[in-house]
Amino acid sequence: ATPDHHRAAGFLQHKGRHEFVAASPVPLRLTMSEMNSLDVSQQALLQLLMTKRALTDHEAQLALTDSAALGHGSPGDDVSHAFKIINRSLKMMNLEVRSTIMPGSDDNQLVHAVVNLVNDDIAKMNGTKLQPAELDVFKQAVQLIGQADESFVDVQALQVPTLKKAQMAQVLQHLVAHRWLELEEGTDNLSVGPRSYLELPDFLESNQIARSQIIYH
């Protein structure tokens, strides 16, 4: 079954093709007072979004239903309403749930993610700790994608002299798992991930990659 067919615990535990670090710690944490402003179902929805780093709209719809089962009601009337409520707590940390329509997707796929509102430095990408040479992998990937005729580049085209092949693979795995980059299933096609569109639009634009449509809740 695909992620879209998983419900309740099955959906929450599903390891999708980009979840290389599904069991890793949540990349950010709220204070007790901020968490207390959200009910159980809203906390569950936020926890899942932070753990998975990004959710498609259909995944978010399933998560909304699953999260409601953990509390005494739905996190919101719909996905956008739930994220609007959650954002009231996140904004105290200069974070916000935003959504984007992924450029080039066949069905105008809508993706949601938590965005850092004050950090536009790619050296300090939210939840990502990379050494300079490792960060060069991301920069090079974006540059090559921006120069490509298509919206993707063959992952084999990436070359950073200071990194061994195994190190390169590990860095790419990290970037894909954190949704800064996307790797098409069954291929070597590497493209820009939703979190890059949401958090680093200026950097993408400087590399000839058009900004995506951003949706605010």
Q: What is the pLDDT of residues 39-85, one digit of tens each?
A: 889 999 999 999 999 999 999 999 999 888 887 677 888 999 999 99
Does 143 score more than 90 pLDDT? yes
Q: Which residue has the higher pLDDT, 128 or 173?
A: 173
The per-residue pLDDT for 26 is 36
Does 10 score more than 90 pLDDT? no
Task: Look up the pTM and report it.
Answer: 0.79
Does 193 score more than 60 pLDDT? yes
Does 30 score more than 60 pLDDT? no
Burial class (CB in 10 A: 0-12, 13-18, 19+), 1: exposed
Under the banding of pLDDT at 50, 70 and 90, the label for residue 94 is confident
The per-residue pLDDT for 156 is 93
CA angle 97, 190, 104 (to 5 degrees): 65
User: How far is 198 from 59, CA to CA, in rounded Å?
Assistant: 18
Dihedrals φ, ψ of 208, to 5°? 65, 30
Element (H, E) at 181: strand 181-183
Under the banding of pLDDT at 50, 70 and 90, the label for residue 126 is low
Question: Tokens for 79?
Answer: 């996905």
